[in-house]
Structure 1
Amino acid sequence: MAVTVYTSATPARLLLVDDHPMIRRGLSDLLSLENDVKVVGEANNGQEAINYLQHNNVDLIVLDNNMPIMNGIETLKRIRELDIEGKVLLFTVSDNSKDVQDALEFGVDGYLLKDMEPEDIIKDIRKILRDELVISPSLAPILAQAMRKPAKNESNYDPHYRELQVVQMIAEGLSNKMIGNKLGIAESTVKVHVKHILGKVGLRTRVEAAVWAVSQHKKS
């Protein structure tokens, strides 16, 4: 499928997936006030969403997690299996650590809790559309635990284990180029990992990431 380039002149197309019509209506009304995003479809559950996505292209899929027939995590996994284009945001009340870690494992682009302010929802949706990973700040401890968890099989590529390697090397003072050389990956790939790491734990700079990594090592 063709991917739409997100620009201010081309409103991003959104699919809202939630089994509560009032939630969908509230989000739709909120987003209708913005000229750079447009709700083009709605679904009551994950299966309806998959059916829609097999015939329509969207830029962002906003998923609730607790839905009948197919919940948000299952829907995210199915979207990735089918190689459906579009970013995915889990917008839910669930702060369950397994849900968060499963969502990250299946390549979610954002995980936000429904208790956030409306203006922050808009800001984070725009961040996702700019290829930034967004996570509710209150979930940082869960993310820290996930990043410290070793890979089950280090011989297989695991993005979370790789991010752990990168953040440890940042703490050692290595540059992106040096990290790439040590891990046998491109410097540009290291930059992507660094961006994801900063986004996951709510940090802004490599220095903050290094300090965070050292503090987590002391706790473990």
Structure 2
Amino acid sequence: MSISVYTSASPAKLLLVDDHPMLRRGMADLLNLESDVCVVAQAGDGQEALDYLRDHEVDLVVLDHHMPVLTGIETLKEIKARDIDAKILLFTVSDSGDDVQEALKLGVDGYLLKDMEPEQIIVDIRKILRGELVISPSLAPILARALRTPSIDDIAGNLTERELQVIQMIAEGFSNKMIGNKLGIAESTVKVHVKHILNKTGLRTRVEAAVWTVNHLTHK
């Protein structure tokens, strides 16, 4: 199996946030074996992470959920509220539907369970860094129940042909810039299409749009 590598002029900078030092150390050791990612800092709780992010930029924050001081969801809320430009991965043991739904509403870039194989976490982190949404496959039934959306025919019927192209590409993990390049339109135009899609469908974020499309439109 070929594994695609995140490409950048320099390794992607990661911040690991978990209240278990051994897990953080193991994750850091695993990830630092790769040439395209680098763990630049570790934090034992959400507040420590926010303090670090106040003065430093990273490409990806890997968050545990059940932590003292601030939970992963609470930390995610703060990161979004402060407009910190970093992708967010919740890496947790929690398969609670409420946790998954809340994370998706907040615009998380990935939600992975800790029972996954070490090699897969590297693959999925690279996907997130490329702009793809990554969710543990075992969470699909939870997501299907959590997302209360209009019917397939209602959504498909409300969208233009271009909007259907855009929502399919969102589901495939393409960023707005990548969608624009593939369709030959400006990134700003893609953003307008995404806004129209969300308004027409009642979906709240592009993450919900991606999950809904994967679960419904791609199998229609």
Q: TM-score range by the shorter chain?
A: 0.7 to 0.9
Pairwise mapping of residues 55-204 of structure 1 onto structure 2 (< 5 A)?
55-147=55-147, 149=148, 168-170=154-156, 175-177=161-163, 186-187=192-193, 196=207, 200=211, 203=214
| Higher RCO (CA < 8 A, seq sep 6+) | 2
Cα distance, 1:10 vs structure 2: 1.3
Provide the aligned length of Structure 1 versus Structure 2.
Answer: 186
Please list the CA deviations of residues 84-127 of structure 1 after superposition, one character each: whole Å capped at 9, or x if unmatched.
Answer: 11000000000011110111111111000000011110111011
Which segments of structure 1 move beyond 3 Å, counting only runs of 4 or more? Answer: 164-168, 170-174, 176-180, 185-199
How does the TM-score come out when normalised to structure 2? 0.73
Deviation digits for residues 110-152 of structure 1, max 9, x if unmatched? 00000001111011101110111110011111211222x25xx
| Amino acid of the structure 2 residue aligned with 1:210 | L
1:25 counterpart residue number: 25
Deviations 1:56-101 (A, max 9, x none): 0000000000001111000000111111110000000000111101
1:15 equivalent to 2:15? Answer yes
Match of 1:120, SS state, is helix
Change (3 A) 1:138 1:167: farther
Deviates more, 1:125-134 or 1:192-201: 192-201
Under a length normalisation based on structure 1, what TM-score does the superposition of the two structures give? Answer: 0.73
- For residues 121 and 78 of structure 1, what CA distance do their matches in structure 2 show? 25
Q: Secondary structure at the match of 1:83?
A: coil
Mapped to 1, the partners of 2:64 and 2:37 lie a distance apart of 19
Q: Distance in 1 between matches of 2:70 and 2:210?
A: 28
Decide whether aligned partners of structure 1 residues 172 and 202 sit closer, same or farther in structure 2, where only a CA change above 3 A counts.
Answer: closer
SS in 1 for 2:216: helix
Identity of aligned residues (%): 54
Q: CA RMSD in A?
A: 3.2
The residue aligned with 2:169 is none
Amino acid corresponding to residue 209 of structure 1 in structure 2: H
Does residue 45 in structure 1 map to residue 51 in structure 2? no
Gaps of 5+ in 2: 1-5, 167-190
Tell me the secondary structure at the aligned position of residue 7 of structure 1: coil
